[in-house]
Amino acid sequence: MLRVAEAEPDPGSILPKLEAEARRIQAEDEEINRRIGEHGRVLMPQDGEGVLTHCNTGALATSAFGTALGVIRAGWEKGGRFRVYNTETRPWLQGARLTSWEFQQLGIPATLIADSAAGMMMLNGDISCVITGADRIAANGDTANKIGTYALSVLAHENGIPFYIAAPTSTVDLSVTDGSGIKIEERPQHEVTAYGGMPVAPSGTVAYNPAFDVTPNRYITAIVTEAAVCRPPFDDSLRRAVDAA
């Protein structure tokens, strides 16, 4: 968008060109998301089995269709009737407020669970695979995503459940060797100690509120991109996907 604005000398022509560029980006992103969905839908569980997703990765988080949610959507659009679970995603409740709404709009029955219920459900056999999005992926496959993703990956590993990431190749940063090079944002304490302006903890409570965490590549079964389903060793498969995109 900035390049388009800087390349246009006539101020009166900037807005139409910016709108055209925005629509081009939107269409490109939707196509990428649909390709992610097409690649990833074959990884979804059998009918009656369960998939768990975390945070919001649907049309509200992208231009359209979605990444991890888009994979679930693609599976349902092709006739899959697996069960869907989504976490509430504390502290901002993106899963409860956004993902649950998106599933309702799509007509996909989904069950909202507390973040802390995921381990029990895996142990009980309710969940057959986990799929999340990503905010940044290092060259070796270490993945930064919404806080709580790492915990889900460890639980999935302990219970022998596949753990998938769905993201466009633009999320892959080959200049970052591994997850130690990804800086994690720390958010204000009040996001944990209060919600909707109402306190949920005693006054003076100290809170730690990282917005993201990094999932080591050893806990990731595959990374679904628009170019391919990347599997370990990720150093090689991710580079090939980026080159092919």
Q: Is residue 182 over pLDDT 80?
A: yes
pLDDT tens, residue by residue, 101-152: 999 999 999 999 999 999 999 999 999 999 999 999 999 999 999 999 999 9
Query: What was the pLDDT predicted at 7?
Result: 73
179 pLDDT band, cuts 50/70/90, is very high
Question: pLDDT tens-digit profile of 36-48?
Answer: 999 999 999 999 9
Q: Which domain holds residue 133?
A: 2-244
What is the band of 202 on the pLDDT scale with cuts at 50, 70, 90?
Answer: very high
Peptide bond into 16 cis (omega under 30): no
The predicted pLDDT at position 115 comes to 98
Q: Which among 29, 126, 135, 178 is annotated as catalytic?
A: 135
231-240 in b/e form (b: 16+ CB < 10 A) is eeebeebbee
* Span 53-107, pLDDT tens digits: 999 999 999 999 999 999 999 999 999 999 999 999 999 999 999 999 999 999 9
Identify each DSSP E strand in 69-206 by its residue range. Answer: 83-87, 110-113, 129-132, 136-138, 143-146, 163-166, 172-173, 194-195, 198-199
- With tokens 């059998």, the residue in question is 46
d(CA 243, CA 194): 45
CA 46 vs. chain centroid, Å, equals 22
Helix 68-77 vs helix 11-40: crossing angle, to nearest 10 = 60
How far CA 184 is from CA of 3, 95, 142, 145, 176, in Å, comes to 29, 20, 13, 10, 14
- Looking only at the bridges linking them, the beta strands covering 136-138 and 143-146 are antiparallel
Identify the band that residue 14 occupies on the pLDDT scale cut at 50, 70 and 90. confident
The span from the CA of 154 to the CA of 28, in Å, is: 34
Q: What's the pTM?
A: 0.94
Is 213 catalytic? The answer is no
The domain tally of the chain equals: 1
Instruction: Write the CATH number for 194.
Output: 3.40.50.10470
Q: Return left, alpha or beta for 196; rule: phi > 0 is left, psi -120 to 50 is alpha, else beta.
A: left
pLDDT of residue 50: 99
